[in-house]
Amino acid sequence: MSPKSPWTFVTNHGAVLSILSHEGIITADEIAARLRITVRTVRRIISELETEGYLEIEKIGRRNSYQVNRHRPLRREDQREVAIEDLLEILKHAEH
């Protein structure tokens, strides 16, 4: 049997977005630990999601509150008819 290839069906962007949609208030450190990626990677992903309009960030004290724009479409041209909320609903079941 050959060793497992490292690819997954859900990218880090999808995983971070899923966590943010369910947690709302969480640190980049906590997300990084949960996904086993670097804090720097998490911060870059959050910045990209915000820039593209998938995420709104509000500062609450020393923490951030994240609001996912659930009606935005997926980014792939052949999947633009699917809203983020549809993907998040599927991923929600995987987290339990």
Q: What is the pLDDT along the chain (96 residues), one digit of tens a residue?
A: 567 777 888 899 999 999 999 998 899 999 999 999 999 999 999 999 999 999 999 998 888 999 999 999 998 888 899 899 988 988 886 654
CA-based radius of gyration for the chain: 14
The answer as to whether 4 is a domain residue is no
Q: 74 is in which domain, residue-wise?
A: 12-94
The answer as to whether 48 is a domain residue is yes
The answer as to whether 80 is a domain residue is yes
Number of domains into which the chain is organized: 1
The answer as to whether 67 is a domain residue is yes
The answer as to whether 1 is a domain residue is no
Determine the Cα–Cα distance for residues 90 and 86; give it in Å rounded to an integer.
Answer: 7
